[in-house]
Amino acid sequence: METKSGDSRSGRRKFLGRAALAGLAAGAAGKVQAAESEPREVKPKGPYPYADRSRFVKMGRTNDYPKGPFQAMLGPRQNAPLGDQTGIITPAPVHFVRSHSTLPDTDPAKYKLLIHGMVDRALNFTLEDLQRLPSEARVHFLECQGNSSPGHHGHKKFDFVTVQDLHGGTSCSEWTGVPLSVLLKECGVQKGGTWLVSESDDAGRYTYTLPMAKAMEDVMVVYGQNGEPLRPDQGYPVRLMVPGWEGPYSVKWLRQIKVVDQPYMAWDEAMAHSIQRPDLGEKARWYHFEMPVKSLITRPSGGQQLKGPGFYEISGLAWSGAGLISKVEVSTDGGKTWKLAKIQGPVHKKSYTRFTLPWTWDGNEAMLVSRATDERGDVQPSIDQVAKNWGIKADDEWPTAEHAFHFNATQRWRVTKDGKLHDNMYNTSGSSHA
Amino acid sequence: METKSGDSRSGRRKFLGRAALAGLAAGAAGKVQAAESEPREVKPKGPYPYADRSRFVKMGRTNDYPKGPFQAMLGPRQNAPLGDQTGIITPAPVHFVRSHSTLPDTDPAKYKLLIHGMVDRALNFTLEDLQRLPSEARVHFLECQGNSSPGHHGHKKFDFVTVQDLHGGTSCSEWTGVPLSVLLKECGVQKGGTWLVSESDDAGRYTYTLPMAKAMEDVMVVYGQNGEPLRPDQGYPVRLMVPGWEGPYSVKWLRQIKVVDQPYMAWDEAMAHSIQRPDLGEKARWYHFEMPVKSLITRPSGGQQLKGPGFYEISGLAWSGAGLISKVEVSTDGGKTWKLAKIQGPVHKKSYTRFTLPWTWDGNEAMLVSRATDERGDVQPSIDQVAKNWGIKADDEWPTAEHAFHFNATQRWRVTKDGKLHDNMYNTSGSSHA
């Protein structure tokens, strides 16, 4: 066996063009020994019942503690490593976390979910009961309603801010559980039972309200995440999964659901999630439901480094609380021109959708940005469009827009000539918004 | 807020029928305190950059070391916990393992993949090169060609054998990487380059052959599994993923691919994976490619325990190397009558497909079995049909059929009156095969 080196006279078409990869070492003849010259050494070692990662892999969550008057009531907050993630499934150990008190340490043998209130019969479900019932497994994103908000990021100028820092309050998993409609039908919802109050088993008894219509549509009581039991910080043993709606509805460590005849404004809703909106004259809407259409370029993205001109795949994630992503456009000139990205199937409703676009960087300044459209026809807005919708001037007033939640402006990454990538959504020095 | 107890006069229809869940405690009035009576205690604690599991979760791999002449050349062998898994994604830390020597501890900064042989230019790809190239993410199963084989299990009578013990040499992940066709086109495959020899970076230099047509069709050079870098026992940093074909083709710790003009019988193929087939007069086929259509009931399954008569969802996994699963039938009477199971979407090609069937156990003996059909129309055979195809008598000759690989017979679980589940494929005492 011999290694052949390159043949420059070949007319064979190269897929990416010659020297497309700047760092690629061609003509590797003789560098690798053939297989049969190696001694055969067999030393069975490892693996383990539950395998570790390579010691070289550091991908992990980062803390996300904004300064401000609400800090005191915040529990653990960690952002998912969007910039390192491949595919559409977020590994459970790095799923983002927004909790409001302690993490319960629940013995699954003692776990019970009570459904009561305006029902024909109140029922307690053990974990084993839930696992015997009709199940579904679906891929859905979760997103904190404050993710990407100027309230977290707009009050200072960042540089080299990563996609994880800016937008890591979202993740996507394969969730397995029982449709909540199955449990409610088993209990028999009485006439007038139009709302639910769900309560967590954490020390703070986190409590949130849900309309009956959504509960009967696609809400799940879940015990499985990405094939295994929920992790403690994701609600072990049982949580709600409310597809497409802002994170707080998906109550973790679910201990009871009470059927009631009117919407409640529970403690957490009133104190932590009541949101003053500039577009409503600083009034709050009572409830916020669906998360809007959104997309992010995750590779290359803020803080990453291009090694020189040549071929790079642009890749990112898109999602919408309204259902399916129908298209994603990508621009490398800050939004002057757009190209249709390739949608990386399969495409699930209310789930991350991975998109890609081939790109050859010429070494000049560039501005990468993606824009998603969902099946309802909603198009992701620019940050200037968001500001206009809210009736504010973006550059001046973002710092004070602390409660600007459900924030889905397009994210612009500025590529400088040294190959570095910079945030150009909040840090707009040296350029203007498209 | 008050908890209401059951109303027996209600005419409201219950989804599962009254008292469908034997262990379910109804009328739970007063057992749970209302949320507002609890003190609000906020103690932010945890989580971690890479979260742990609950201390109550023990789900893990089990060792699988058959006795026999081949044991000496076997490296780590561990079975995936199919009976505990939810959904279709196998968590990476419990993915099954069949390795033939040590697990390399590779520094990703030093990693290179060499593609050479009959190409216009030999190229070395670093991990960073691979991550810049056009990517795909797809959900695919992997299965050891010896999984479920009588060669592992038929030589002794088991009782209470689990689905993990019998069939745990298979798993399913979302894999992310570069199509191998992209790399081969970049190198320029020369005329006559019709086969590939792929070599691993483990101590044994595991080596396997692949036809060029398959390489160009759907093979990937992968670096991501379920959203994060491959685990060491799955080939970190880079492995092949050969969808639908027996596990050995998906070479782990991939270090080089040589393009050649004929099939090779590499050391591992000749010594460890050359399979004598009863149906071929004990001759071996040179290569075995595609894994056949197969399904398993994972819940309830061997070693599990029903708590009493009542409602249980039967749930399991089906897959085929030929492509999509088109239907799964389930029988609770050992194959006399069959019902169409519900396919739990989404359905991917060459991937696990989850199926479910509602079942009310009456407390009598039952025999649970599933049978899958794939898009090509292939139907999973009974164990007697497999024996007939191979020209042997099943009960007498399974113990000697050590090389009966690609084994896809239907798995029958016998439910005894005490609610226990027993293997009825190899351990057939007290019943006959359908």
Q: Is B76 in contact with A45 (Cβ distance < 8 A)?
A: yes
Q: Which of A167, A163, A128 is nearest to A150 (CA)?
A: A167
Distance from CA of A34 to the nearest CA of B (A): 9
Residues A162, A310, single domain; the answer is: no
Position B94 in a domain: yes
Residues B95, B243, single domain; the answer is: yes
pLDDT, position B403: 57
Residues A215, A84, single domain; the answer is: yes
Query: A113-162 pLDDT, tens per residue?
Result: 999 999 999 999 999 999 999 999 999 999 999 899 876 664 455 556 89
In chain A, residues with a C-beta closer than 8 Å to the C-beta of B341 are none
Residue of B nearest to A119 (CA): B4
Q: Say whether pLDDT at B2 is over 80.
A: no
Q: Say whether pLDDT at B172 is over 50.
A: yes
Residues A137, A277, single domain; the answer is: yes
Measured between CB atoms, which of A35, A108, A310 is closest to B207?
A35
**Residue finishing a domain among B284, B303, B321:** B284
Place of tokens 């609890």: B38
Sheet containing strand A353-361, edge to edge, reads A294-299, A310-319, A353-361, A342-344
Which regions in chain A score pLDDT beneath 70?
1-47, 65-74, 151-160, 272, 274-279, 285-286, 394-403, 428-434
Residues A165, A301, single domain; the answer is: no
CB A61 within 8 A of CB A96: yes
CATH number for the domain spanning A304: value is: 2.60.40.650
CB atoms within 10 A of CB B249: 25
Measured between CB atoms, which of A78, A103, A188 is closest to B12?
A188
Measured between CB atoms, which of B3, B51, B204 is closest to A233?
B51
Distance from CA of A136 to the nearest CA of B (A): 7
Position B343 in a domain: yes
pLDDT, position B285: 66
Residues B230, B311, single domain; the answer is: no
Residues A253, A339, single domain; the answer is: no
Position B54 in a domain: no
Q: Say whether pLDDT at B41 is over 50.
A: no
Position A191 in a domain: yes
- The CA distance from B215 to B212, in Å, is 5
Q: Is A126 in contact with B23 (Cβ distance < 8 A)?
A: yes
CB A254 within 8 A of CB A235: yes
Residues B325, B411, single domain; the answer is: yes
Please confirm whether the linkage preceding A91 is cis (ω < 30° from 0): no
Q: Is A43 in contact with B205 (Cβ distance < 8 A)?
A: no
Token pair, residue B223, equals 């670096």
Q: Say whether pLDDT at B265 is over 60.
A: yes
- The CA distance from B195 to B200, in Å, is 17
The mean pLDDT of chain B is 85
Split at pLDDT 50, 70, 90, the class of B323 is very high
CB B338 within 8 A of CB B373: no
Position B14 in a domain: no
CATH number for the domain spanning B278: value is: 3.90.420.10
Residues A253, A192, single domain; the answer is: yes
Instruction: Tell me the Ramachandran region of residue A281: left when phi exceeds 0, alpha when psi lies from -120 to 50, beta otherwise.
Output: left
Q: Which of A434, A430, A424, A432 is nearest to A163 (CA)?
A: A424
| Signed CA dihedral, A258, A260, A263, A267: sign only | negative
Residues A104, A183, single domain; the answer is: yes
Distance from CA of A179 to the nearest CA of B (A): 12
Q: Residue A132: how many CA atoms within 13 Å on its side-chain side?
A: 23
B88: Cβ contacts below 8 Å, ≥ 6 apart: A137, A174, A227, B139, B172, B317, B344, B348, B351, B352, B353, B354
Residue A121's identity, in one-letter code, is R
**Residue finishing a domain among A262, A284, A306:** A284
In chain B, residues with a C-beta closer than 8 Å to the C-beta of A26 are 121-124
Position A49 in a domain: no
Report pTM.
Answer: 0.90
Question: How high is the ipTM of this complex?
Answer: 0.89
Position A98 in a domain: yes
Residues B271, B323, single domain; the answer is: no
| Signed CA dihedral, B352, A319, A329, A148: sign only | negative
Interchain CB contacts (distance < 8 Å): A and B: 429
Q: Which of B21, B7, B201, B36 is nearest to B102 (CA)?
A: B201
Position B364 in a domain: yes
Look at chain A and report how many structural domains it folds into. Answer: 2
Residue B426's identity, in one-letter code, is Y
Residues A136, A274, single domain; the answer is: yes
Measured between CB atoms, which of B4, B42, B59 is closest to A122?
B4
**Residue finishing a domain among A237, A252, A284:** A284
Name the residue with higher pLDDT: B157 or A59: A59
Residue B171's identity, in one-letter code, is S
Place of tokens 């670093």: B126
Q: Which domain holds residue B127?
A: 62-284
In chain A, residues with a C-beta closer than 8 Å to the C-beta of B207 are 35
Residue of B nearest to A60 (CA): B49
